[in-house]
Amino acid sequence: MRMQDMVAVVTGGAGGMGRATALLFAREGASVVVGDVDAQGGASLIAEAAQSGLNVSFLLTDVSREADVANLIAKAETDHGRLDTIFNNAGIEQPVTASDAISEQLFERVIDINLKGTFFGCKHALPALLRNGGGTIVNNSSVSAFANVGGNLSYAASKGAIMSMTRVIAIEYAARNIRCNAINPGVIDTGMNQRNMQLAEDPAALEQKWRSITPLGRMGTGDEIGEAVLFLATKQSSFVTGIGLVIDGGRIAT
């Protein structure tokens, strides 16, 4: 019970690694408030959590809308009395597009959800964490902040900026007992990469490429990401702030 009596917010927790992390947090004793645009995924998460007696609630939330994110964090405080940690996880991929063919609309959509959504999560969690006497923020960046294969300019830009934002917050709030870290997942087996495969001309070749750039030779799982987020969200990582924790099966070591 590494999160006994803690209160957590997870954005983008209706699917993928956010869902795995929300369920892990709850299994470890936390009350978890999940925000996501996917109402159906949210309902199935609530049903799955209820079956195991886990304390997970859901609020329809678009992280690119500031009022939605403010409401999500207010719900955690209203329902559970405080906020201890937020996992700013919601994000979308950029379909592979040559950098000179990216429309302003596509660029803005990826930045709005990935970067602005993470900013809103930090901005509105910080006062709640200060009222709590401290807490933790974990932002979902990506190895794309450091290593790319091309065709994903807006995504890589959003994830690089999340690293910079994470460091600024870590420095600014360290003296007030708030730690802010990021994770940098490699290729993880979630809906995002299933969609990337569907869009590929040769899905089998794409999967083979992912394996070949990953020394451990496979995709990571949502549960493996959850364990890393749990570490950064709790006192197990009490002397860690301002880092990006790379969880990539060895990819950026190559």
Ligand X SMILES: NC(=O)c1ccc[n+]([C@@H]2O[C@H](COP(=O)([O-])OP(=O)(O)OC[C@H]3O[C@@H](n4cnc5c(N)ncnc54)[C@H](O)[C@@H]3O)[C@@H](O)[C@H]2O)c1
* Spatial CA neighbour of 228 closest among 193, 186, 178: 186
State the minimum distance, in angstroms, from the CB of residue 207 to ligand X. 12
CA distance linking residue 254 with residue 250, whole number of Å: 7
CA distance linking residue 89 with residue 106, whole number of Å: 20
* Span 10-69, contacts to ligand X by CB under 6 A: 11-12, 14-18, 36-38, 41, 61-64
State the minimum distance, in angstroms, from the CB of residue 34 to ligand X. 9
**Candidates 75-83, 97-105, 174-182, 189-197; binding stretch for ligand X (CB under 6 A):** 189-197
Interface pick for ligand X out of 31, 152, 190, 241 (rule CB under 6 A): 190
Nearer to ligand X, 31 or 64 (CB): 64
Nearer to ligand X, 12 or 135 (CB): 12
Mask: binding to ligand X, 86-125, rule CB under 6 A, as x and -? ---xxxx--------------------x---x--------
CA angle 21, 27, 32 (to 5 degrees): 60
SS3 183: strand
Structure tokens at 147: 């290593």
Q: Exactly one of 87, 119, 155, 210 is catalytic; name it.
A: 155
Nearer to ligand X, 64 or 181 (CB): 64
State the minimum distance, in angstroms, from the CB of residue 160 to ligand X. 12
Mask: binding to ligand X, 194-233, rule CB under 6 A, as x and -? ----------------------------------------
**How many of the other CB atoms lie within 10 Å of CB of 251?**
21
State the minimum distance, in angstroms, from the CB of residue 18 to ligand X. 5
CA distance linking residue 110 with residue 129, whole number of Å: 27
Nearer to ligand X, 28 or 248 (CB): 248
* Span 123-152, contacts to ligand X by CB under 6 A: 140, 142
Q: Does the annotation mark 173 as catalytic?
A: no
Structure tokens at 217: 């030779």
- The partner residues of 136 in beta bridges, in order of sequence, read 85, 179
Nearer to ligand X, 91 or 135 (CB): 91
SS3 188: strand
The number of residues in the chain equals 254
SS3 94: coil
Ordered DSSP codes for 50-80: HHTT--EEEEE--TTSHHHHHHHHHHHHHHH
Catalytic residue numbers read 155
- Summarize as ranges the residues that interact with ligand X (CB under 6 A): 11-12, 14-18, 36-38, 41, 61-64, 89-92, 113, 117, 140, 142, 185, 187-188, 190-193
